[in-house]
Amino acid sequence: MLGRTASSLYWMSRYMERAENMARLLDVGYRMSLTPGLDSGHREQWESTLQAAALSDTFFAAHENAMMPQVRNFMLFEESNPSSVRNCLLAARSNARAVRTAITTEMWESINGTWLEFSQVKPSSVTADELPRLLDWIKRNTAQFRGAMLNTILRDDGYSFLQLGVFNERADNTARILDVKYYVLLPRSELVGSDVDMQQWMMILRAASAHRSYRHVYRDRYKAWNIADFLILRREMPRSLAHCYAWINSTMEDLETFYGVRLECHDLAKKAHLQLRNGNMDVIFQQGLHEFLADFMQQNNTLGASIAENYNFF
């Protein structure tokens, strides 16, 4: 497969996943801004959302205050923000058009339809009451695209690059959702272990679509230790870091079989997969959750760059 085609497939699925993940991060910020015991709607929660999304510098270059209307528009509609939902959907559509003959009709119709419908949404129409509905719509439509992909695409090397895009991006987002807690609670150490703390952990589970599955695995009350374990090390949780890297490592092995060559990115994926498979929450909390997540995100970014270089995306 040509590097250009592999790149378009990888980035098409990665941008669709990123659009969903921007909606999930916004959902965390919105829910935390409504937490009883905190100043509802104030900048602390929205600054934490921007910080976790690595968008603070870009946002504050154009805005003075991080309040809900400004952050909402920036993460959903802002053309100058390369990670806004608008730009993610547009980039996914552009990549899909570039490889129109390599994807199925169902995949194209899902991406194109999502973009056309979203492009008609006016920022002024997204009030605080309407925001949750729009975020749910984004998550439904991106899930529809993934369903179309899984149910219609041939399981060849193109499918492998699609899967790498999904799980490379998803792993990054799960780490960022968890890291929101660090930025919210860092200035407020007296909240750690409080009811507010537990409510925020519950909201993180909901943002990761993990609330019901968490209660199925852990039948006791919400505990930071268990929630971090669930989203980091439990392979059966489909948005956990361990699950993402189990898929990434397996997909890398498929590519090695397809092409008959092992590259640097295969070794990086294997190393990260084994670290998570053999991981221990005692060690992670001793290191510091934020420090662990920061190291993981750097490792995940390095893998993405290695995939691009090894498979000639440029």
pLDDT at 167 over 60: yes
Handedness of CA 160, 166, 169, 170 (dihedral sign): negative
For the entire predicted model, the pTM comes to 0.91
pLDDT, mean of residues 96-119: 97
Q: Are the beta carbons of 30 and 132 closer than 8 angstroms?
A: yes
Average pLDDT, the chain: 90
Q: Identify which has the larger pLDDT, 118 or 216.
A: 118
Residue 242 to residue 275: CA distance in whole angstroms: 9
Instruction: Look at residue 187 in the predicted model and tell me its pLDDT.
Output: 46
**116 to each of 7, 46, 100, 119, how far by Cα in Å?**
23, 28, 17, 5
Q: Residues of the chain with pLDDT > 90: what percent?
A: 68
pLDDT at 42 over 70: no
pLDDT, mean of residues 31-48: 67
pLDDT, mean of residues 272-277: 97
Residue 233 to residue 217: CA distance in whole angstroms: 13
pLDDT, mean of residues 57-70: 89
Instruction: Please enumerate in sequence order all residues whose Cβ is within 8 A of that of 225, keeping only pairs 6 or more positions apart, or say none.
Output: 281, 285
Pick from 194, 197, 249: nearest CA to 228:
197
pLDDT at 67 over 90: no
Instruction: Look at residue 51 in the predicted model and tell me its pLDDT.
Output: 82
pLDDT at 20 over 90: yes
Burial of 116 (0-12, 13-18, 19+ CB in 10 A): exposed
Q: How confident is the model at residue 186 (pLDDT cuts 50, 70, 90)?
A: very low
Q: Residues of the chain with pLDDT > 70: what percent?
A: 92
pLDDT, mean of residues 36-56: 71
Q: How confident is the model at residue 113 (pLDDT cuts 50, 70, 90)?
A: very high
